Structure 1
Amino acid sequence: MTIRHMPVAALTAAALSLIVINSPAFAQGASQTQATQPIQGTAPAVISDKKIEAFAVAYLQVDKVRQDYAAKIGAEKDATAKQKLQNEANKQMINAVEKSPDMSLEEYKSIITAAQTNPEVAQKVQEKLKTTTSAQ
């Protein structure tokens, strides 16, 4: 991801959350999470800087997978093959989050949701993405 794309990081995060949410593996994990945890209010919990940093690392890995698959999916004409590529991309994105240190899929989803609804969280995430991208 280049620096010129950073101002749209929040929009990209929203788009990625839709891709991941539509994944069968994500849906299964979400239903398990909902079954074991009470539903919380709309006010997001305070997210530590360490978690935002871990999210940024995971996000960049997810974005790399998204970029890798975007051209393949866009070029595919067959609907069945396109769906297969989308499913494969979703699995790879979930895998990227799960392999990220100090970040679970549930935490990743929670931070995306918080960034979409809380401008302060969105700003912290965007700033961390800029510094993480610059460091790479």
Structure 2
Amino acid sequence: MKRFTQAILPAAILAASLAGGAAVAQTGAPAAQQQPPAMQQPAAIPNPSDAQLEKFAGASQKVAMVAQEYRPKFEAAPDDAARQEVLREADEKMVSLVRADGLTVDEYNGIGQAVQQNPDLQQRVQEMAPDAVAPTR
């Protein structure tokens, strides 16, 4: 499914949030839960505008809520196939929320990468939305 392979936070980020913030590659998650290398390392947007950061801050809050909503479903899934289905559902919901906030998947990923790498951007995002979650590696 093309949408699944282009998703923002499908297996890699959702699994990272489920693992308490550790990256999937570092947790030893099954390969079926990992994204291709290109999806794990989005190209950073080095200087996102205030408008982009505001959209990111709002979207990241919503994405974090979806991750929290799907965590128990993921953990309760009886097998890999069921876990993949939970990830697919969460992925679709996250993509929809990001797009509803006016960002493309690539923009969201790129801003997230920049925020990870730049403490000043992290601070700006936190000021825009105190409950916003900075993406984890």
TMscore range, shorter length: 0.5 to 0.7
Q: After TM superposition, what 4+ stretches of structure 1 lie above 4 angstroms from structure 2?
A: none
Q: Distance in 1 between matches of 2:71 and 2:97?
A: 16
Q: What do the CA deviations read for 1:112-136 (whole angstroms, capped 9, x no partner)?
A: 0001111111111122220779xxx
TM-score by length of structure 1 reads: 0.61
The residue correspondences of 1:124-135 to structure 2 (distance < 5 A) are 124-130=124-130
Partner of 1:22 in structure 2?
A: 35
Asked if 1 retains the 8 angstrom alpha-carbon contact of 2:60 and 2:132, the reply is no
Deviation at 1:72, TM superposition (A): 0.7
Instruction: Report the counterpart of residue 33 of structure 1 in structure 2.
Output: none
Q: Aligned partners of 1:120 and 1:78: how far apart in 2?
A: 41
Q: By how many angstroms is 1:78 displaced? A: 2.0
Q: What's the % identity of the aligned pairs?
A: 30
Which sections of structure 2, spanning at least 5 residues, go unmatched?
1-12, 18-22, 25-33
**Number of equivalences:** 103
Separation (CA, whole Å) in 2 of partners of 1:131 and 1:76: 29
Of the two, which has the highest radius of gyration? Answer: 1
Point out where structure 1 has 5 or more consecutive residues left out of the alignment: 1-11, 31-39
Pair 1:87-2:88 in alignment: yes
SS at match of 2:46: coil
Q: What is the aligned-residue RMSD (CA, Å)?
A: 3.2
